[in-house]
Structure 1
Amino acid sequence: MKIVVLGATGLVGRAVAATLGPRHEVVRVSRSSAVRADLADPASLEALFAEPVDAVVCCAANVPLRPLAELTGEQVLDDLRGKLLGQVALARLAAERLPDGGSVTLTGGTFTEPLPGSGLGALVNAGLEGFVRSAAAELTRGLRINVVSPGWISETLEAMGEDGARGTPVAVVAEAYRALVEGDANGATVIPR
């Protein structure tokens, strides 16, 4: 398959591209790569489909931790535009442009317990999971859509000086994306462990 990995310069995106690379043709996309796209700029997503592709994986999305008391209306809108609405726009374009049997895999997020500053992220991630569940029922031509919702990544925790054992290794997270791209799940939310 020819697979676009959006966010391929980030920790998860690099791991996903490396996991898919030996078995598929991977097009690595980021805001700074040869093929550029930005979820906050839906028009830039058109470039992902300049040539035919079989699957799209989005690892580009994140919502920073921000205390509720410090959130501004513009920050809320920016995070909604990027992670939520950007991935919805990507999925919509993919549904129009992927061949029969194509696959879209998005990125959500999950935490086992509420975390200070995670309210907006929780809103966005719950929205993505609901969108994927419902959109799967509307797709035709054998198209599939799923979402991977990792919690903390071990390597991220370690880079922050925290105990990496509290997270999931990036290689395990990358395998969850690979399984969704190569499998037959549709409308699923996968929490890698």
Structure 2
Amino acid sequence: MRILVVGASGTIGKEICNVLAHHDLIRAGRNGLDVSVDHTSVQSIKDMYSKVGKVDAVISAAGGANFASISELTPEINERGIESKLKGQINLVLLGLDYVNDGGSFTLTTGVMMDDPIRFGASAAMANGGVRSFVKASAIEMPRGIRINSVSPNIVQESWDRLEQYFIGFTPVPASRVALAYRKSVEGAQTGQNYEVY
């Protein structure tokens, strides 16, 4: 399988590449090892697909959001989650449909905060929930047998030291375990799913 991994150099992205190393991987990101892309830019996404050509699967392990209390959350602070986590990932699908082979797949990334809220996490939860809803709704309309799923990771062990203050009482999971859900999405048969790794 020829698989495009956006966000391949990130904590989870690296583990996705490890678990799917038996496939032909194209590693993309801002500092992409194979191809560069800014997934918040429509033109950059178009350029990436033009360079890469046809693939069997697209995985997005990219997307960020700002942490802020609801009383400090401004439209500008909230915009990062909308542009990066929500629109960026959805645009990878909308602009990539013609590049995914028949029977291929898209796998996007959500996150635990939409199901188990934390302080300062409203913006991220909003973006995650939007992605999950898009995946569920678009699955019934995907053309040519293309599947679409999302993976919802818990806080990962590799980020625990940096983010523990936000995830009080959570049990972190290894990124290698999260990566298995992406493999399930790509190599499996389900569609419209949000695989929770909590």
Deviations 1:114-145 (A, max 9, x none): 21100111111111111000000111211011
- 2:82 corresponds in structure 1 to 80
Q: Which amino acid aligns with 1:37?
A: V
Say which of 110, 113, 117 aligns to 1:114: 117
State the AA in 2 paired with 1:103.
S
CA distance in structure 2 between the partners assigned to 1:110 and 1:186 by the alignment: 20
Does the Cα contact within 8 Å between 1:58 and 1:105 map onto a contact in 2?
A: yes
1:158, 1:120 → 2: CA distance? 22
What percent of counterpart residues are identical? Answer: 34
Say which of 138, 141, 145 aligns to 2:141: 138
Is 1:95 matched with 2:97?
A: yes
Gaps of 5+ in 2: none
**How many residues in Structure 1 have an aligned counterpart in Structure 2?**
192
Q: Deviations over 1:11-68 (max 9, x none)?
A: 00011011101x2011111101241111211211123323221110000112132112
TM-score (norm 1): 0.92
- Please, which runs of 5 or more residues in structure 1 have no aligned partner? none
Does the 8 Å CA contact 1:56/1:105 hold for their aligned counterparts?
yes
Using the size of structure 2 for normalisation, the TM-score is: 0.90
- What are the equivalent positions in structure 2 for 1:1-193 lying under 5 Å apart? 1-21=1-21, 23-33=22-32, 34-49=34-49, 50=51, 51-111=53-113, 113-160=116-163, 166-193=171-198
Rounded to whole Å, the distance in 2 between the matches of 1:155 and 1:164 is 16
| Segment drifting more, 93-102 vs 146-155 | 93-102
Deviation for aligned residue 1:181:
0.4
Deviating above 6 A after TM superposition, structure 1's stretches of 4 or more consecutive aligned residues are 161-165
Question: In structure 2, what is the Cα distance between the partners aligned to 1:110 and 1:165?
Answer: 10
* Structure with greater strand share of residues: 2
Q: Mark the CA change 1:81 to 1:159 in structure 2 (over 3 Å): closer, same or farther.
A: closer
Letter in 2 for 1:98: V
Structure 2 Cα separation of the partners of residues 108 and 133 of structure 1: 12
Whole-angstrom distance in 2 between the partners of 1:190 and 1:179: 9
